[in-house]
């Protein structure tokens, strides 16, 4: 299971630095910025299309602390 940037880099046989550099060069975003963007998009979808609470949506989208809200 891939859980870190290091894991992603290892799966492509490249360094973490090179992965981060190329990702930002190609997308204009850091990997963390990109992941946060995806999480927010998913949270917006769930707010509109489900009856989940905000806490449930936060947990579902990877925001596992109420301190994030």
The residues spanned by each domain of the chain are: 5-68
pTM: 0.73
pLDDT at res. 10 = 93
Residue pLDDT tens, the chain, 69 long: 667 899 999 999 999 999 999 999 999 999 989 989 999 999 999 999 999 999 999 888 887 755 444
Looking at domain 5-68, its CATH architecture is Orthogonal Bundle (1.10)
d(C-alpha 39, C-alpha 3), whole Å: 15
Tokens standing for residue 44:
């917006």
For 25, how many CA atoms within 13 A lie in the half-sphere containing its CB? 6
pLDDT at res. 4 = 87
**Does the CA dihedral 58-64-68-69 come out positive or negative?**
positive
């Amino acid at each position: 299971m891939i859980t870190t940037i290091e894991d992603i880099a290892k799966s492509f046989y490249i360094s973490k630095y090179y992965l981060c550099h190329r990702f930002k060069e190609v997308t204009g975003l850091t990997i963390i910025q990109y992941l946060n963007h995806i999480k927010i998009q998913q949270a917006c979808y769930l707010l509109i299309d489900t009856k989940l609470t905000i806490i449930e949506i936060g947990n579902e989208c990877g925001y596992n602390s109420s301190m994030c809200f």
